[in-house]
Amino acid sequence: MAKKHNLPLRGVNSDGASVQVNEVEVGYLVQLAGWGNFADAADKALRSQSLSIPTDYRAPVSRGMMTVWRIAPDRVLVRSDSKLEFASTNDLVALDLSQARVCLTLDGPGTAGLLSRVIALDFDELLFPIGTFVQTSLHHVGVLVERQRRDQLTVIIPTTWARSLTDYLISHLALAV
Amino acid sequence: MTARRLSYGGRIDRYRTITVEFDGRSFAAHPGDSLASALLAGGQTIFARSFKYHRPRGLMAAGVEEPNALVHLRDGARHEPNAQATMVEVFDGLKATPQNAWPSLRFDIGAVNGMLSRFFGAGFYYKTFIGPFKGTGFWMFCEKFIRSAAGMGQATTLGDPDHYEKINAFCDVLVVGAGPAGIAAALAAGRKGENVILVEQDHSVGGALLSAVPGGVSDVWLKKAESELRDISNVRILTRTTAFGAYDTEVFGLVERSQDHVKAPEVGKPRQRYWLVRSKRAILATGAIERPLVFAGNDVPGVMLASAVRKYLNRYAVLPGDRVLVATNNDSAYVAAIDLAKAGAKVMLCDLRQKGPKSLFARARAAGIDLKLGHGIVKAEGGKNVRGARLIAVDAKGKASGKEISVSCDLIATSGGWAPALHLWSQRFGKPEYHSNLDAFLPPAERGAFTCVGSLVGATSAAESAMQGHTAGGSVGKLDPLPEEDDFWGRGLLPTTVITRANGTTPGKAFVDFQHDVKLADIDQAHMEGYVSVEHLKRYTTLGMAADQGKTSNLNALTRMASLRGVDVPNVGATTFRPPYTPVTIGAIVGNDHGLHFQPTRLSTIHDWHMENGAETIEAGAWLRPWYYPAKGETLRDSYIREAAHVREHVGIVDVSTLGKIAVQGPDAAEFLNRVYTNGFKTLPVGRLRYGVMLREDGFVLDDGATARLGENDYFMSTTTANAAKVLAGAELLLQAAWRDLKVHVTTVTDQWAAIAIAGPKSRAVLADLTGADLSKEALPNNHFTNVVVDAVPCRLHRMSYSGELAYEIYIPAKSGLKVWEALIKAGVPYKLKPYGTEAMGALRIEKGHVAGSEIEGRTTMKDLGLEGFASSKKAFIGSVLRRRPLLEDPDRPSLVGLEIVGDVGAKAGSLLFAMNVPKKGHGEGWVSSATYSPALKKNIALALLSRGPQRFGETIEVVDFVGNQTLQARVVLHHFFDPEGHRQNG
């Protein structure tokens, strides 16, 4: 069974660069999905929260503690620190996924190096700038990765995979004793 | 062979002396040495015994092409077989042992094979074990002897104590090979600002420049270039790294031996690292490998490649012999001969060519070399050491004539031209082009995103190689000049590598593939037996296979085949190059993905409780589930029987968070469900749930589960644990491809909800106490749900039963799963509530006759499973047409029944069913799908699919387990063993 770790933990990757792994609250997570003129319908719904629909799949729209990620042509994911009410309509359905995800933060100069050992992506800051995100696979599991700072990224993981993937990430670090 | 370390020169650290051990002997070495150079300096001549004939073998090469000197490295769990001594960096305490020799390297009993060589020729296995011996018995008998006599090193069965890792990297330019061409390319591209990765398999950059006499102009060039390279931040230099595979879209596999050069890896460091590099373009500067000449005795220790001799001399300061015979068909061996002569060796050089470059001849003569033009070696003399050679005159076409001349020598250095190391290019693009002037296959300089430079494309000098690299890198900045040389192998090369007597024979064994003991005679024999394809030749003779991949043998074999067939080399063709270029350890390929991390594990949010309370777990797909909770001393059987009986008598809870859960939302959700389920969902009221069956398009059952209508356009579908992903993917495909007009979204909510089943006669009481809700039969009948609150957690309570008991499923926001589970445990104390695992859950559902994955296994229809009543006749649904195929309506098809096993021994799932008193042959009339001991019935029962099953109730049949050699009798009954009327679950 995957090992349970008491987070936060700090370790170094094999390049000797340190990383702190921590779990933070997801807060509230709602998926909006729709059809046809989804973009308009979602934009309208999001504007009620002073948000808007992102125009691409790498750059989220953020306001305060709220973030909107466009995760598919007809789906967005909205993360917030307080519960947002979105009513389902004929053009749009809302689904609470707050319990379905766990959020890890990876912080430190070894963060990009650690992630490059487990994810087939280029974490160069030019190609993955601060404030952008990707949806990708981490050890075969779909995750959402967002760059907060040069050396800080968050990884949003499906809840039931979180223990295993956290352990997998940490297995790439030599832990500080 | 009288090798010795020179007191000067070399690129070794003479200030430090370390000790390495080989075959029980200690050898002094210096940092910078390879294991091969250290042993050679210490006078070791025999490094290994050959694969088949156990012939003594010495060093042939000095790099990755070495076919002979394979050794065991280290011991214990770090024991490693088949390490090339030429590629092993020395470290203090390095321990190596010979392989494939018994009782010792110098006296190997297996050498008797050499005397039997006429029986061990090409196709030996095929011929010996086919024919008079019927069956495989004779082969099975002989196999263990053959395997122990032949082969290479032995792997350890101990667990690898080291750690490996994989890493993804991206770059603009991947430069493979850090010789002059690669360095110049990386410099130019780096200066241009491109993100460059420069890969070198050696621990130092420089390539062929490291084989030059130290202190020369090329060293100045190298030092300056390396210094600049290391200062460019956008250039990453990976030494000790081999690019072993080139794949589509410019993806490359590299293996970095990051800690192989130390006794044990540093803490936290991987022993090896597997790089997966994605590059926009690639510059291949992989150089070329010298070809050996083929003559009798060319494998006697002391016969080496001329370039290797030069490398040992100039890089490692080891003079491999005092009386050296250099044999060549081209110019490149002259520099080796001249360096040897200058180092004090007595050198004779026999050149197969009658004519050659006057400048080189003059330099050679000036160095005191005895030149013998128009001569080749027909035989090397010696057993465990070269003692001499017999020369023969050859004509301008390379054909031997005249009398043989004996010469005395202790080292033979040969050069039969060069074969460009085009493996990576060929892995990516296929067949290269043959260039007759170079007698070699070459890749084109440009193709796609690949640029080939240097010796790989026949550059005539280091200077030209560097120039090509500079151009390929983008021609940015000034390229410092390297000296022009006059030893280009392609100038005036005589394309003869095989030297025979005038009658075409060799006076002894002449080897083409040294690693696999493939002789010239084996190729000739294969040809005589009708082999014309080079791919067939390879497999028939084993030439070019395994670790070596034919680096020194392929071209010589091809030219021999061409000669025998009387065609040009291009008409024979080249074999297909496949990754890896050099062997890659399994550890590097695996990285961290082993043991617990072979694949990710999925755990419910209640999992910790199960572990803390002694549950034994079982894998269910990616999930790890509580299997049973053994009391002290209990077996699995004891536990599940106790747990299942407890549920029937009191109440139990089981973690069913693993069930697939899918949110089906949108105005057309009901229509969607109507199409995917066989039964109707449009009429399902809000607040109700319904069991449904779905089919594949071909009419077989795909999955089943219950779906709840949460709102007008909002459904909660549950699937089996095993089929959750399949059902979701199928639904997505239908919505995105076939039913784009439907306004429906499906989203997995398996992670959003934890789920617990509460079953047993006291389940209602426990839940009523816990929630305070009215859960009476009238308030919450079967197949209804209600919202409840448990310990301040809002949950949804479904009334449904899988066990046949009064039962509920409670769906909990996942992160509160543990809290609600613990609340249930606490509330259940007065009612003797106990947890139960999947084994007891299985026993309960078999008693009730509910189908599961063992019955829904892809070959069963609704009719087979007694679910026909769920198929609506009023609507179409997936599979509704093809389920009516005559074959699927055949009344003789096996259909679901129950079996009551006669006696105390239970049946095994997979057992076959036969009528009484018929021969027990073939597949029988059906099979057991699930079996258990029923605590409720106090007997062994099973679910089975039996031909014409429902018509055979009451019949006694035989249940045969051919694997376990067990035959039982069973009575055929209705599959609903327990409470067939459903009083309990509906009560």
Domain of B104, CATH number, reads 3.10.20.440
Residues of chain B contacting A72 with CB distance shorter than 8 Å: none
pLDDT at position B458, please? 96
Distance CA B3, CA B394 (A): 30
Q: How many domains, in total, are found in chain B?
A: 6
Last residue of a domain, one of A81, A96, A111: A96
pLDDT interval class at A177 (50, 70, 90)? low
Assess whether A151 and A107 both reside in one domain.
yes
What's the CATH code of the domain at B782? 3.30.1360.120
Q: Report if residue B602 sits inside a domain.
A: no
Domain holding A149, by residue range, is 9-26+99-175
Chain A / chain B CB contacts < 8 angstroms: 129
CATH label of the domain that carries residue A169: 3.30.1360.120
Residues A86 and A116 in one domain: no
Asked if B243 contacts B421 with a C-beta cutoff of 8 angstroms, the reply is: no
Q: Are residues B728 and B677 in the same domain?
A: yes
Phi, then psi, of B227 in degrees rounded to 5: -60, -45
Residues A106 and A171 in one domain: yes
Neighbour count for residue B810 (Cβ, 10 Å): 27
Candidates B603, B714, B751; nearest CB to A164 = B603
Question: Both B352 and B342 in a single domain?
Answer: yes
Residues B151 and B39 grouped into a single domain = yes
Asked if B75 and B152 sit in the same domain, the reply is: yes
Q: Are residues A107 and A162 in the same domain?
A: yes
Q: Is the same domain home to B150 and B26?
A: yes
Q: Which residue type does B714 have? A: D
**Mutant choice from A32, A99, A116, A136 vs B, greatest count of B C-beta within 10 A:** A99
Q: How far is B682 from chain A (nearest CA, A)?
A: 17
User: Does a structural domain hold residue B855?
Assistant: no
Q: Do the Cβ atoms of B745 and A139 come within 8 Å?
A: no
Q: Is B611 in CB contact (< 8 Å) with chain A?
A: yes
Q: Which of B416, B432, B452 is the last residue of a domain?
A: B416
- Distance from the Cα of B760 to chain A's closest Cα (Å) equals 28
> Residue B611: inside a domain, yes or no?
yes
Say which CATH number the domain at A82 has: 3.30.70
Distance CA B97, CA B80 (A): 10
Count structural domains, chain A: 2
Q: Is residue B866 in a domain?
A: no
Q: Write down the pLDDT at residue B1.
A: 64
Q: Verify that A72 and A139 share a domain, yes or no.
A: no
- pLDDT for the residue B119: 74
Nearest Cα of chain B lies from the Cα of A126 at a distance, in angstroms, of 12
Asked whether the beta carbons of A24 and A14 are under 8 A apart, the reply is no
Whether B792 and B830 map to the same domain: the answer is: yes
Touching A: B residues 155-184, CB under 8 Å: 165-170
Q: Are B883 and B699 in contact (CB under 8 A)?
A: yes
CATH number for position B315:
3.50.50.60
| Same-domain status, B5 and B134 | yes
Task: Establish if B624 touches chain A: CB-CB under 8 angstroms.
Answer: yes
Residue B814 has its nearest CB partner, among A75, A159, A174, at: A159
Last residue of a domain, one of A72, A96, A120: A96
Q: Which of B491, B513, B544 is the last residue in one of the domains?
A: B491
Q: A27-39 pLDDT, tens per residue?
A: 999 999 999 899 9
Three-state secondary-structure class, residue A66:
strand
Q: Which of residues 42-61 of A touch B (CB under 8 A)?
A: none
Within-domain flag for A111: yes
Instruction: Kindly identify which residue of chain A lies nearest to residue B605, measuring between CA atoms.
Output: A160
User: What does the DSSP 8-state code read for residue B576?
Assistant: P
Question: What part of B 554-593 touches A (C-beta under 8 Å)?
Answer: 592-593
Of A12, A88, A164, the CB nearest to B602: A164
What is the mean pLDDT of the segment spanning A85-89?
Answer: 90
The list of chain B residues with pLDDT below 50 reads none
- CATH number of the domain bearing residue B679: 3.30.70.1400
Q: Is residue A14 part of a domain?
A: yes
What was the pLDDT predicted at B131? 61
Q: Per the domain annotation, does A3 fall within a domain?
A: no
Q: Judge whether B533 lies within some domain.
A: no
Residues 906-925 of B with CB under 8 A from A: none
Alpha helices in B343-448, H assignment, sequence order: 358-366, 423-429
Task: State the pLDDT at residue B135.
Answer: 72
Residue type, B227: S
Does the beta carbon of A90 lie under 8 angstroms from any beta carbon of chain B? yes
Task: For residue A4, tell me if it sits in a domain.
Answer: no
pLDDT digits (tens, 9 = 90+) for B457-499: 999 999 999 999 999 999 999 999 998 888 899 998 999 999 9
Residue B542 lies in a domain: no
Is any Cβ of chain A less than 8 angstroms from the Cβ of B299? no
Q: How close does chain B come to A109, measured CA to CA in Å?
A: 16
Asked if A161 is an interface residue toward chain B (Cβ–Cβ < 8 A), one would say yes
Report yes or no on A143 lying in a domain: yes
Q: What pTM does this model have?
A: 0.93
Q: What is the rounded distance in angstroms from the CA atom of residue B409 to the CA atom of residue B412?
A: 7
Do B27 and B149 belong to one domain? yes
What does the pLDDT read at residue A141? 98
Specify the pLDDT at position B305: 98
* Domain extent for B355: 292-416
Are B465 and B396 members of one domain?
no
CA distance B370 to B184: 38
The answer to whether residue A121 sits within a structural domain is: yes
Query: DSSP states of B3-62 as a string?
Result: -EE-SS-SSS-TT--EEEEETTEEEEE-TT-BHHHHHHHTT----EE-TTT--EE----S
Q: Does A101 contact chain B (CB < 8 Å)?
A: yes
Based on the fold, state whether residues B906 and B920 are members of the same structural domain: yes
Indicate if A104 and A165 belong to the same structural domain: yes
Burial A76-92 (b: 16+ CB within 10 A, else e): bbbbbeeebebebeebb
How many residues in total does chain A contain?
A: 177
* Cα distance between residue B183 and residue B556, in whole Å: 31
Instruction: Quote the tokens at residue B728.
Output: 């979701």
Residue B537, domain member (yes or no): no
Is there a single domain that holds both residue A65 and residue A103?
no
What's the complex ipTM?
0.97
- B956, exposed or middle or buried, with CB in 10 Å at 0-12, 13-18, 19+? middle
Kindly identify which residue of chain B lies nearest to residue A158, measuring between CA atoms: B751
Of residues B195, B667, B814, nearest to A100 (C-beta):
B814
Q: Shortest CB distance from A14 goes to which of B268, B663, B816?
A: B268
Judge: A120–B603 Cβ closer than 8 Å, yes or no: no
B298-318 confidence digits (pLDDT tens): 999 999 999 999 999 999 999
Q: Are residues A105 and A21 in the same domain?
A: yes
Is B664 domain-assigned? yes
Chosen domain end from B432, B462, B491 = B491
**Residue A116 distance to chain B (closest CA, Å):** 5
Residues B943 and B904 in one domain: yes
Query: What integer pLDDT is reported at residue B311 of this predicted model?
Result: 98
Is residue A165 domain-resident? yes
Report which secondary-structure segment, H or E, holds A158: strand A152-158
pLDDT of residue B133: 66
Are residues A112 and A169 located together in one domain of the fold?
A: yes
Same domain, A61 and A77: yes
Same domain, B137 and B67: yes
Distance from CA of B241 to the nearest CA of A (A): 16
pLDDT of residue B833: 98
**Which of A47, A65, A96 represents a domain boundary (last residue)?**
A96
User: B255 to chain A nearest CA, in Å?
Assistant: 14
Whether the link from the prior residue into B667 is cis, omega within 30° of 0, is: no
- pLDDT of res. B106: 85
